[in-house]
Amino acid sequence: MNLRDIHTPVLLDRCLDLLAPALQHEGAVFVDATLGMGGHSEAFLERLPGLRLVGLDRDTDALRIAGERLARFGDRVTLVHTVYDGIADAVARAGYAAADGILFDLGVSSLQLDEADRGFAYAQDAPLDMRMDQSAGTTAAEILATYGEGDLRRIFERYGEEKLAGRYARAIIAARAEAPIERSGRLVAILQAATPAAVQRAGHPAKRVFQALRIEVNRELSVLERAVPAALGILPVGGRIVVLSYQSLEDRLVKRELADASASTAPAGLPVELPEHAPRFRLLVKGAELASDEERAVNPRATPVRLRAAERIREDA
């Protein structure tokens, strides 16, 4: 299996352009907080010969594959099995006081989507696992077996922004009374049967439910809510962060954190902004950048991406 044939890193050149100014010096530390199969990291290590990498992933399969891919870079690479809200501790354990550049490529990875038996894809029948770290945690099947109707509705509404959340929750409760819902094919059939024909024509009825289950299984939003401030906290002046988001809930959270970090904290009405109230970061792109039409054509997984980036301009007060 050629990794380059199955995984094209999203917005690779743009990520390099944005992060390289912080990573040019000898011994610069780059944290790939969502290592996956190592496509972004490989390109950074090739382009910047003085670079040191700390690669994080909760998925042991991804760490193994990336480790093989990046082995030729020797001691320039440190890989850590952790969820990315553990970024500060991982960098410290790798022996570094700070990170000069940080990349988050959020959401489900190419590896997880392409491995049918992980249960992430509604188009393939597989056990309903959905854990990014298969060594720990609750599976999607266990959530479907144990959550009450109200809790299922809540996660479908909150994490899937699903208008038919209540209808789907009721259908799942009724179906599991007959037999456990353990495979993606059965869940898809339940959702399709509960979906009015007019709605089915508007898109696959399982898409948002599968997204919601995946976020709940992996606690993705609560992890991200901790991870972005933790990442900002280990950037020195001149350090940069880039975040790639693939759905609106992630992007709104990232937007809020970066907006707060790049805003003045001066009370309204002060005639002069004191240094301690000055913004700690500056935004490197206006709003959220999208993939070009050319990139979307070559790499369809780039279609929903939203890129945001910032640079630290002063230390915390």
Any idea how long the chain is?
Answer: 317
Q: Kindly state the average pLDDT of the residues 87-99.
A: 97
Q: How far apart are CA 152 and CA 229, in angstroms?
A: 29
**First-last CA distance in the chain:** 50
Query: Does the pLDDT of residue 1 top 60, yes or no?
Result: no
Model confidence, pTM: 0.89
Query: Does the pLDDT of residue 111 top 60, yes or no?
Result: no
| CA atoms within 13 A of residue 39's CA, in its CB half-sphere | 20
From the number of C-beta atoms within 10 Å of its C-beta (0-12, 13-18, 19+), residue 234 rates as: buried
Residue that is written with structure tokens 């929750």 in the block: 169
Q: How far apart are CA 97 and CA 82, in angstroms?
A: 18
**Structure tokens, 85:** 């809200």
Q: Kindly state the average pLDDT of the residues 138-152.
A: 96
More confident residue, 3 or 72: 72
Tens-place pLDDT, residues 289-309: 999 999 999 988 899 999 999
Q: Kindly state the average pLDDT of the residues 45-53.
A: 97
Predicted pLDDT at 4: 46
14 within 8 A of 289, measured Cβ to Cβ: yes
104 within 8 A of 243, measured Cβ to Cβ: yes
Query: Does the pLDDT of residue 190 top 70, yes or no?
Result: yes
39 within 8 A of 9, measured Cβ to Cβ: yes
Which amino acid is located at 137 in the chain?
G
